[in-house]
Amino acid sequence: MTYKFVAMMLSILLLTQITLPLHTISAEEKTPTQDEAKDLVQKGLTIFEIDKEVGRLNEQDASIVAQIKQNELDIIKQNSNVENTRKHAGKVLRAYYTGDRDSIWMLLFTVSSFTDALRMFEYLQMIISNDHRALSAFTESFKKLKSLRTELDSSRVELQKTKEKFLTQRERLVKLQEELDKQLAVSAQAQVIEAQIKSLNEQWKQEGIPLFREYLNSLSSAFRELPQYVTKENKFMDLSSIKNPVITISDTDFNAYLHSKNELLQNLNFEFADGSIIAKGKKDQVQIALEGMFLLKEHPDMNEVRFVVDKLEFNGFQLPDTTIEDFMKEFQLGFIPKKIVNYLDVVSVETKNGIAVVKLKLSL
């Protein structure tokens, strides 16, 4: 009886194995959670952006190399010019040093008529003018040679920095790609995630980048004109200390100002927190977020309040530092009060509890 029962159970197990689907998840494959899947897609976007930066640095490297080669050719040519002008200038200086020019001037006293004297004087003036041109030509050619050499040295330093940056970003790219490949290799949803990465990268390229540029361009213009707005409205200015006026603006008033400047900016709202600023917006199916702070940038002639961006998000995915740096090179987000009111310079700026406080000084 026991033997028959065991045989029957084995038959059932064998039949179950045969009827199971041919493709099952192996022990090594894992089904990622929603957060894990998002992290993989995030990594794909980061790789996409860093790859662009690596390509840009590679092009910059090639451009600097070409510039260095041209500088070297210009220096060779300029060396020849310097040598030619040096010889001419040397002859002139020797003539003055040995007294040859003095003897020429003595010819004025040998002429027999006023007309001859005028002609001789014109002739001497031509000699002196040519002497001056020769000396000036040498000075200018030498200055140009010095400038070319300085430019060449700067280009070489820039090339070294670019190469170091290129190697750093390439290593970062390779590491991220290896991590992503390993994670996808053991994921049961690899094909789905790869499709999501491709879709997100394409959406970022087609919709995200143009929209971010629109926002940042509009913000750049609005920031520049902010001092003119706050100095016209009495409610923002505290003049209790004439020498040290203070501008205080809430994030509510700041948003109202932005929304009045541009229709696109009506979809964007800033929030002032302690030492940080957060901005969020949405247009159609694209959501953006910026995070950063106001910093004082000191300059010899006038100071600037700059909005420094630390974080950018596109549809909930964070963009890498290379993207932020690229955008910040293209768009300056800040304002200089002294450009609007030339006797007011900014000395400090801070944000706290929904307000931004800008302290100024009177400089007559």
Nearest to 311 by CA among 336, 286, 296, 328: 328
In sequence order, the 6+-apart residues with CB closer than 8 A to the CB of 304 are: 296, 297, 334, 335, 336, 346
At residue 108, the pLDDT reads: 47
At residue 189, the pLDDT reads: 87
CB 148 within 8 A of CB 74: yes
At residue 354, the pLDDT reads: 94
- The predicted-structure confidence for 279-324, as pLDDT tens digits, reads as follows 999 888 889 999 999 999 988 888 999 999 999 999 999 999 999 9
Which residue ranges of the chain lie beneath pLDDT 50?
Answer: 1-27, 101-103, 105-108, 117
In sequence order, the 6+-apart residues with CB closer than 8 A to the CB of 42 are: 317, 318
Q: Which two tokens stand for residue 4?
A: 């028959």
Q: What is the DSSP string of 60-107?
A: HHHHHHHHHHHHHHHHHHHHHHHHHHHHHHHHHHHHHHHTHHHHHHGG
At residue 1, the pLDDT reads: 46
At residue 17, the pLDDT reads: 39
